[in-house]
Structure 1
Amino acid sequence: MHIANRVIVTLIVLILSTTPVFAHEYKAGDLEIHHPWSKAMNLGAKTGGGFMTITNHGTEPDRLINISSDVADLIQVHEMKVDNGMMTMGEVPGGLEIAPGATVELSPGAIHVMFMSVKTPFKEGEKIKAVLTFEKAGDIAVEFKVEPANKGDDGHDMKNMKM
């Protein structure tokens, strides 16, 4: 292999190995937040969801205790579950614990961020700036990438949702 070809191959390997920049990850203390995202919203919609994966690489638990952003008047961590055959959703009391060594996935149809009284519906391709506040790691500024409205749909019928 000629030296020029080796240089090109090396450059390609270096470019491909920089995926954390493209992977949309954030770190603070022992916590790693992977790919915060939200769904595009319909015109006139006032609530939106936020999703991500949080990993605690430490030996002590941490807790997500607040989320703030200029895009909504109220933001909470919500949990969806089935109770006596009825799907319910409500705020996770006391914040969301991330146990040591654990990964918590916030996803559609499960634990998720709930943006309420959204000022302007989220549009695909936008980035929503927010600050996640943890008990131990403190504030972590993130951006939720707005994905297509149908991303992560699992076929749940929301007609019987009790909020």
Structure 2
Amino acid sequence: MNSFKTFIAATALATVAFTGAALAGDMTISKPWARASAGMAKAGAAFMFIYNETGMDDTLVAAKADVSKKVELHTHLMEGGVMKMREVEGGIPVKNGTTQELKPGSYHVMFMGLNEPLKEGSSFPVTLVFEHAGEKTIKVEVMGPGAMGDMAKHKMGGMQNMDHGNMPGMGQ
């Protein structure tokens, strides 16, 4: 009888573990990239496409990387004719069956206090943390300083008037 209870408990744990792994596998991250650092810049950003085919809505709640002292999820908003970058509160939504694009001038992963400049042609790991799908580690490719990745059609209007607030490492 004792071995039967052990078998049932082990089966339940295996089912939970398998379901979690399958869910995380259904969150597809494609074309992750970052721009090479310009000059002595102490900040950088990563962009990508996140496709959710998990069967449920999810949220990107955090990101982790060793390339900087701090990693945050950010977005841009227009205030008084000035584009401002701010940390996203509550995470970045990724609805089931859709693609959430992290791109210049919109949602992105922000690296503040870079340990060293991001060099064109290099790459680095970033772990994305989802509310339901768990963690997924990706490799971010570093492109040239003016790169637009696969977002070449995206317009960057207003970027010359960007206000980064009081974010450390932004050269202010």
TM-score, scaled to structure 2: 0.73
Counting matched residue pairs gives 137
1:59 positional shift? 2.4
User: Quick one: which amino acid aligns to residue 117 of structure 1?
Assistant: G
User: Structure 2: how far apart are the matches of 1:63 and 1:74?
Assistant: 20
Q: Runs of 4+ in structure 1 displaced over 3 angstroms?
A: 153-157
The answer as to 2:122 corresponding to 1:120 is no
CA offsets per residue over residues 37-95 of structure 1, 9 Å max, x none? 00000232100010000011132111111111111111111111212322111011011
The answer as to 2:78 corresponding to 1:82 is yes
**Contact 2:83/2:159, CA 8 A, preserved across alignment:** no
More strand by share: 1
Q: Which blocks of at least 5 consecutive residues in structure 1 are unaligned? A: 1-26
User: Quick one: which amino acid aligns to residue 105 of structure 1?
Assistant: E
**Contact 1:31/1:57, CA 8 A, preserved across alignment:** yes
Aligned match of 2:107: 111
User: Structure 1: how far apart are the matches of 2:56 and 2:26?
Assistant: 9
User: Quick one: which amino acid aligns to residue 160 of structure 2?
Assistant: M
User: Structure 1: how far apart are the matches of 2:61 and 2:97?
Assistant: 19
Q: Which blocks of at least 5 consecutive residues in structure 2 are unaligned? A: 1-22, 149-154, 166-172
* SS in structure 2 at match of 1:28: helix
The answer as to 2:91 corresponding to 1:95 is yes
RMSD, aligned α-carbons: 1.8
Aligned match of 1:129: 125
* SS in structure 1 at match of 2:140: strand
1:161 positional shift? 2.1
**Contact 1:86/1:162, CA 8 A, preserved across alignment:** no
TM-score, scaled to structure 1: 0.77
Alignment of 1:18-97 (within 5 A): 28-97=24-93
